[in-house]
Amino acid sequence: MAKAKKSVFFCQNCGHEESKWLGQCPMCKEWNTFVEEKVTVAKTSSTKSVKESQVVPLSAVKMENEERISTNIEELNRVLGGGIVPGSLILVGGDPGIGKSTLLLQVCQQLEKAEKKVLYISGEESLRQIKLRAQRMGEFSDRLLLLCETNLDIIRSVIEKERPDTVVIDSIQTMYSEDVTSAPGSVSQVREATNTLMQLAKGLCVTIFIVGHVTKEGTVAGPRVLEHMVDTVLYFEGDRHASYRILRGVKNRFGSTNEIGVFEMRENGLREVKNPSEFMLDGRPEHASGSVVACSMEGTRPILLEIQALVCESNFGMPRRTAAGTDYNRVNLLMAVLEKRIGYHLGNYDAYVNIAGGIKINEPAVDLGIVMAIVSSYKNRPVSEDTMVFGEVGLSGEVRAVNMPEQRVAEAKKLGFQTCIIPEVSRESVKNIKGIKIIGVRNINEAIQQI
């Protein structure tokens, strides 16, 4: 077959290909994302062999219980849907220094303890650097194999020769194929590398973890097709200077995408946080106005968190509004509801809302907590420390129902709270929970009167 080289233009955001440069991508509508790359095109003969495909009725497809491999890390198993599915391709993304390589090295440690053969391939660190990090985590056996290589052809041959159970690629942006002339990390190289690894994972039934860099917007660097090709996409969130980390699944073909795993960074690696609610509420101020405990659901797990608000008179003509950990526009909307429905004149006040602990919450169930925190700071009256609130607030000031109220109230009772302020329509579903006072409210005016 003859080979010819030509120039094509790829969209860095979605991977769309064009023969000429365009200002706006016709697929994802992003501007100035096209880059020129040299590609090699193979000229094949016109004779093609067509294989006959067979259609199968849905009732004839046999279902078998899928085998899952436990990582012995309960928080990771939760996010993966119960464990690792053999032959799956898993992408792990996150900011630099957040702990991606540390987590995967701990996974390798647990898998080799379960007598699984693991191959760790690094394109960014030397063998000595990996050894230094491994020494802080504990003992490793000879079942963990290391390889420092970026050439995909060599990596393919090593995987086919060693036949490991699990492979870790750190990172996909450093891998390159000699058949693609563009630089490592480009759209063509990332797509070719992911395609090669996907064929190895499915063909050899090898589980492959891929580490991906993220852009300044927080998405995985490279074309969007990278996330479409893999089976599972996990994001590591959190401040690299803080001790906690949150592992969130944004795509999972073998389980739910609503679960999160909470970890704490320590000197000897990442430690699981079995009770995130207790971790988030640690260090709460006593008898302080503007501090309210609310409840958010992450998958099937209720998490109690502290919402802080600070309302003070503005020294300028335009008041400042700041939100950390929640939606800025949602805070403005709730403050407008307070002005219209309750009559509070907040137009001359600065407002700062913060979710303590650095966690990001966008669930509507924390609306009532935000409203109560703003009112508490505005009136300078603290809310009782043994009170927890949750509920969605509408534009008419009504408090609407949220999902899974039983789990939220049960979590508050377990942590020692005495009172729960919930939507009135949810009282019927939590009537069987004893030992905690339940107060149902229909609107924010009733909630304010209760506290």
Mean pLDDT across the stretch 265-292? 88
Distance, CA of 141 to CA of 159 (rounded, Å): 19
Residue 49 in any domain: the answer is: no
Q: Residue 331 is part of a domain; what is its CATH number?
A: 3.30.230.10
List the Cα angle 397/293/369 in 5-degree steps.
15
pLDDT recorded at residue 122: 93
At residue 342 the predicted structure's pLDDT band, cuts being 50, 70 and 90, is: very high
pLDDT recorded at residue 39: 67
Report the percent of the chain where pLDDT is more than 70.
92
Residue 73 in any domain: the answer is: yes
Is pLDDT at 223 greater than 70 in this prediction? Answer: no
Distance, CA of 322 to CA of 344 (rounded, Å): 19
**Residue 370 in contact with residue 401, Cβ under 8 Å?**
no
Residue 207 in any domain: the answer is: yes
> Of 274, 290, 310, which closes a domain?
274
Residue 252 in any domain: the answer is: yes
Q: Are strands 291-298 and 387-389 parallel, antiparallel or unpaired?
A: parallel
pLDDT recorded at residue 217: 61
Residue 18 sits in the same domain as residue 77: no
Residue 121 sits in the same domain as residue 17: no
At residue 76 the predicted structure's pLDDT band, cuts being 50, 70 and 90, is: very high
**Which carries the bigger pLDDT value, residue 36 or residue 311?**
311
Residue 176 sits in the same domain as residue 77: yes
Q: Residue 84 is part of a domain; what is its CATH number?
A: 3.40.50.300
> Of 207, 241, 274, which closes a domain?
274
pLDDT recorded at residue 43: 54
Residue 391 sits in the same domain as residue 328: yes
Residue 279 CA from chain centroid, whole number: 19
Amino acid residing at 440? G
At residue 322 the predicted structure's pLDDT band, cuts being 50, 70 and 90, is: very high
Is pLDDT at 410 greater than 70 in this prediction? Answer: yes
Residue 345 sits in the same domain as residue 395: yes
pLDDT recorded at residue 411: 93
Residue 163 in any domain: the answer is: yes
Residue 114 in any domain: the answer is: yes
pLDDT recorded at residue 328: 95
If you average pLDDT over every residue of the chain, what do you get? 88
pLDDT recorded at residue 216: 61
Is pLDDT at 107 greater than 90 in this prediction? Answer: yes
pLDDT recorded at residue 191: 85
Mean pLDDT across the stretch 23-38? 85
Residue 202 sits in the same domain as residue 330: no
Residue 63 in any domain: the answer is: no
Residue 249 sits in the same domain as residue 298: no
Distance, CA of 84 to CA of 220 (rounded, Å): 21
Residue 221 sits in the same domain as residue 87: yes
**Which carries the bigger pLDDT value, residue 36 or residue 353?**
353
Q: Which domain holds residue 130?
A: 68-274
- Give the closest residue to 249 by CA, choosing from 324, 301, 175, 326: 301
pLDDT recorded at residue 186: 79
Is pLDDT at 358 greater than 80 in this prediction? Answer: no
pLDDT recorded at residue 215: 67
Residue 85 sits in the same domain as residue 205: yes
Is pLDDT at 42 greater than 60 in this prediction? Answer: no
Count other C-beta atoms under 10 Å from residue 336's C-beta. 13
CA dihedral 152, 155, 156, 160 (to 10 degrees): 180
Binding residues: 94-101
Report the percent of the chain where pLDDT is more than 90.
57
Mean pLDDT across the stretch 386-412? 95
Residue 263 sits in the same domain as residue 298: no
Residue 58 in any domain: the answer is: no
Residue 258 sits in the same domain as residue 291: no
Is pLDDT at 418 greater than 90 in this prediction? Answer: yes
Mean pLDDT across the stretch 176-196? 84
Number of domains in the chain: 3
List the Cα angle 312/313/319 in 5-degree steps.
100
> Of 274, 299, 330, which closes a domain?
274
Residue 80 sits in the same domain as residue 27: no
- HEC string of the chain equals CEEEEEEEEEECCCCCEECCCCCECCCCCCECCEEEEEEEEEECCCCCCCCCCCCCCHHHCCCCCCCCECCCCHHHHHHHCCCECCCCEEEEEECCCCCHHHHHHHHHHHHHHCCCCEEEEECCCCHHHHHHHHHHHCCCCCCEEEEECCEHHHHHHHHHHHCCCEEEEECHHHCECCCCCCCCCCHHHHHHHHHHHHHHHHHHCCEEEEEECECCCCCECCCCHHHHHCCEEEEEECCCCCCEEEEEEEEECCCCCCCEEEEEEECCEEEECCCHHHHHCCCCCCCCCCEEEEEEEECCEEEEEEEEEEEEECCCCCCCEEEECCCHHHHHHHHHHHHHHHCCCCCCEEEEEEECCCCCCCCHHHHHHHHHHHHHHHHCCCCCCCEEECCEECCCCEEECCCCHHHHHHHHHHCCCCEEEEEHHHCHHHCCCCCCEEEEECEHHHHHHHC
Distance, CA of 432 to CA of 88 (rounded, Å): 43
Q: What is the pLDDT of residues 130-181, one digit of tens each?
A: 999 899 888 888 889 999 999 999 999 999 999 999 999 998 989 998 888 7
**Which carries the bigger pLDDT value, residue 227 or residue 232?**
232
Supply φ then ψ for residue 408, to 5 degrees: -65, -45
At residue 360 the predicted structure's pLDDT band, cuts being 50, 70 and 90, is: confident
Binding residues for ATP: 94-101
pLDDT recorded at residue 380: 94
Placement of tokens 């050439």 in the chain: 151
Distance, CA of 1 to CA of 304 (rounded, Å): 63
pLDDT recorded at residue 118: 95
pLDDT recorded at residue 51: 61
